[in-house]
């Protein structure tokens, strides 16, 4: 956007003064300036003329904002900001002060980015983490899961009011009933309160851990991140290709650290009893019932179980 000074400098010398005066008169006659002088009757013509560039910027950006093309196409000097004019005493006269203000769209985006920045997604489609939903909207999409939705909503409300809970949630149910979506919804809503969160898709996580054998620092950083985040979701637990190292040294380490410290959440097609059977058998060591019991001792006492019913929404 050209400043008033640039416009004046681009004019031929013969017409400079005339055109400049026309621009000054136009600026001073603008409704925004009239409103300013009505609010501050002490503003004299000399002060206004000495600050005509500030007033021109103020008017131009206000007009551009009134026809906002969206934050991505913001035409103002500073994206998502507009010029405001303040008036302060300066001895026996008044002084015009210009300053930048963030627009509502910019503030909303900053808030949205802050929410997203508090949530990490490991191998999970994070589209559900990028926008909020209402409980009514979620229930309307599938009334059969109303009970589960209300229980998750109640958990969100309790955490919002009282802080981190001692227990997490275990969402169990058939394929495609929205268990992952409900956990993403919970992470999004609680991120608004300043809590951090992570969601891990277990089948892909289990495979990726094999590659981390060659990157011990990355492995340590990943495990530490999952230990320390406020809210941790293990998604599709039981669908992973289980091995003793994943069960005992990764899952066991993370859960052992978090129990009695921070809540952990799970989605699974298994019940807790069936999950114990799953953890009792690995490709490496065969059946080890006590190892399955040990990992479940770090899950079962620290979750409330929610059964999620509804239609299979995958592919819809």
Where do the structural domains in the chain lie, given as residue ranges? 4-103, 118-307
Angle at 172 between CA 170 and CA 175, to 5 degrees: 140
Q: Which pLDDT score is estimated for 128?
A: 63
DSSP 246: I
Contacts 24+ apart (CB under 8 A), 99-106: 103/65, 103/68, 103/71, 105/68, 105/70, 105/71, 105/80, 106/71, 106/79, 106/80, 106/81
Check residue 295 and give its pLDDT: 93
How many C-beta atoms lie closer than 10 Å to residue 122's C-beta?
19
* Contact status, residue 306 vs residue 151, Cβ threshold 8 Å: yes
Distance, CA of 264 to CA of 302 (rounded, Å): 8
Fold entry, domain 118-307:
Rossmann fold (3.40.50)
pLDDT of the residue at 251: 93
C-alpha atoms less than 13 angstroms from C-alpha of 238 in its C-beta half-sphere = 21
Q: How many CB atoms lie within 10 A of CB 256?
A: 15
Q: Evaluate whether 115 touches 192 at the Cβ level (below 8 Å).
A: yes
Query: Is 57 in contact with 83 (CB distance < 8 Å)?
Result: yes
Q: What confidence score (pLDDT) does residue 3 get?
A: 61
List the chain residues with pLDDT less than 70.
1-15, 126-135, 137, 139, 282-287, 312-316
Q: What is the pLDDT of residue 214?
A: 81
pLDDT at 19: 81
DSSP state of 44: -
């Amino acid at each position: 956007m050209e400043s008033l000074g640039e416009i004046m400098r681009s004019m031929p010398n013969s017409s400079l003064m005339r055109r400049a005066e026309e621009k000054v008169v136009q600026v001073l006659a603008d409704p925004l300036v009239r409103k300013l002088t009505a609010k501050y009757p002490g503003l004299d013509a000399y002060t206004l003329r000495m600050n005509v560039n500030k007033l021109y910027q103020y008017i131009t950006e206000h007009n551009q904002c009134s026809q906002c093309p969206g934050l991505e196409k913001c035409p103002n000097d500073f994206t998502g900001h507009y010029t405001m004019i303040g008036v302060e005493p300066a001895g026996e006269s008044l002084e015009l002060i210009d300053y930048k203000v963030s627009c509502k769209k910019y503030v909303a985006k900053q808030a949205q980015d802050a929410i997203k920045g508090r949530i990490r997604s490991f191998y999970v489609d994070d589209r559900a983490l990028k926008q909020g939903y209402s409980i009514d909207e979620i229930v309307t999409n599938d009334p059969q899961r109303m009970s589960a939705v209300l229980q998750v909503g109640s958990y969100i409300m309790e955490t919002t009011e009282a802080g981190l809970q001692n227990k997490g949630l275990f969402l169990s149910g058939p394929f495609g009933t929205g268990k992952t979506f409900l956990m993403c919804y919970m992470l999004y809503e609680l991120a608004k309160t300043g809590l951090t969160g992570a969601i891990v898709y277990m089948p892909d996580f289990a495979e990726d851990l094999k590659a981390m054998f060659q990157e011990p620092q990355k492995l340590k950083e990943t495990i530490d991140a999952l230990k320390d985040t406020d809210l941790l979701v293990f998604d599709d637990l039981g669908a992973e290709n289980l091995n003793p190292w994943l069960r005992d040294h990764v899952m066991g380490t993370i859960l052992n650290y978090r129990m009695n410290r921070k809540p952990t959440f799970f989605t699974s097609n298994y019940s807790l009893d069936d999950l114990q059977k799953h953890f009792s058998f690995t490709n490496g060591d065969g059946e080890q019932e006590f190892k399955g019991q040990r990992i479940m001792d770090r899950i079962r006492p620290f979750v409330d179980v929610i059964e999620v019913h509804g239609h299979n929404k995958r592919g819809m």
